[in-house]
Each structure stands twice: as structure tokens, then as C-alpha cells.
């Protein structure tokens, strides 16, 4: 059983007289809090060892999954501004994990791809990363996880199309 934290309970009292959607409030509040804690958790336990922060890791992960990508696609997939991606790529390229190239047929674009060193890095890190993912979710029922994942997907789709 989940126990509501004090803030939620007091919040319900405070807004009792207002036309407030409490379920929405609780969901949004917990969503952001969980995300922030997870990020800190992974950066401290798994990523910092390799000198990566969250967005840099996700960038590498996307390239690992998708193969070569143009930067504007990549920034969408990672979920960060293209300007943020640009400096991340500068760093990761300097460290030899990926390469940028300009396709001759479209010289505005910039295609990004992992190097062998980058592939190697992800083959090493990802199992460790996923192990930790599984660890923090242990004890949660598969059906609750499925419901949550689907709800988040719907939410992302709705917010993304704006």
C-alpha cells in the first residue's frame, strides 16, 4: 500500500473549497519528483563513473539504437533543445565516442554516428544501467508498470504534438 505524504494530505485540505482536481495534482507532483530522483540516482551510481550525465547518456543510447541520425531528429528523440545537443556532441566527439559528417547531397545537415569506441562504451554501460533500472522497480507489479508506461506514453504523445 502506498502512503500519501503529508504535503498531499494538507494540500487536499487547503483546496477543499476550490474547484480542484486533486488526482491531477497528485499525479503531476509525484511524476516530477520521481523523475528527478531517478535521474540523480542513475547519474550518481552508473553514469558519473564514465563522465556522462543523463542527456549525454540518452544521446549515446539513441545513436546505439537508431544508428546514424541527423541532429534535428536526435534532439527530438533525446528530448532536449538542439542547442543543448550541439554542445553535448562537441564533448562526445572530442572524446571519440561519435563522429559527425556532412552528407554531400544535403550540405546543411549533419549526421551523427557512434564510433567503435562509442559502441563499446554502450555495450559496457547499458546492462549495468538496466540492472539498476530493474532494481529500483523491484516489488512493483508488472500490471501496474504496464498501466503506468502506457499512461506516460499517451501523455507524451499529447504534449509532443503541440
For residue 59, the SS3 value is helix
**Residue 87 near which of a second copy, DNA, none (CB within 5-8 Å, type-dependent):** DNA
For 101, the enclosing helix (H) or strand (E) is strand 98-101
Per CB under 7 A, the list member of 29, 30, 50, 84 interacting with DNA is 84
Spatial separation of the C-alpha atoms in residues 120 and 80, rounded to whole Å? 24
Q: How far is the CB of 89 from a second copy (least distance, A)?
A: 18
37 binds a second copy (CB under 8 A): yes
Q: Angle at the Cα of 153 (from 128 to 140), degrees rounded to 5?
A: 55
- Which strands form 69-70's sheet, in the order they lie side by side? 69-70, 111-114, 98-101
Question: C-beta of 148: minimal distance to DNA in Å?
Answer: 23
In sign, the C-alpha dihedral spanning 64, 55, 118, 149 is negative
DSSP code for 162: -
| Residue 83 contacts DNA per CB under 7 A | yes
Among 21, 35, 49, 109, binds DNA (CB under 7 A): 109
Any contact of residue 120 with a second copy (CB under 8 A)?
Answer: no
Among 3, 51, 107, 108, binds a second copy (CB under 8 A): 3
Closest approach of Cβ 60 to DNA, in Å?
13
Residues near DNA (CB under 7 A) are 36, 40, 53-56, 70-72, 79-90, 100, 105-110
Amino acid at each position: 500500500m502506498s502512503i500519501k505524504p503529508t504535503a498531499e494530505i494538507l494540500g487536499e485540505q487547503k483546496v477543499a473549497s476550490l474547484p480542484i482536481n486533486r488526482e491531477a495534482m497528485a499525479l503531476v507532483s509525484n511524476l516530477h519528483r520521481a523523475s528527478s530522483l531517478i535521474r540523480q540516482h542513475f547519474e550518481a551510481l552508473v553514469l558519473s563513473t564514465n563522465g556522462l550525465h543523463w542527456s549525454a547518456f540518452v544521446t549515446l543510447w539513441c545513436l546505439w539504437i537508431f544508428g546514424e541520425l541527423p541532429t534535428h531528429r536526435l534532439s527530438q528523440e533525446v528530448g532536449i533543445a538542439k542547442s543543448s545537443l550541439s554542445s553535448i556532441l562537441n564533448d562526445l566527439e572530442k572524446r571519440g565516442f561519435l563522429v559527425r559528417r556532412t552528407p554531400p547531397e544535403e550540405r546543411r545537415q549533419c549526421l551523427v554516428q557512434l564510433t567503435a569506441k562509442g559502441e563499446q562504451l554502450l555495450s559496457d554501460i547499458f546492462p549495468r544501467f538496466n540492472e539498476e533500472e530493474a532494481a529500483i522497480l523491484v516489488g512493483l507489479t508488472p500490471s501496474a508498470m504496464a498501466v503506468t508506461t502506457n499512461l506516460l506514453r499517451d501523455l507524451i504523445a499529447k504534449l509532443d504534438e503541440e
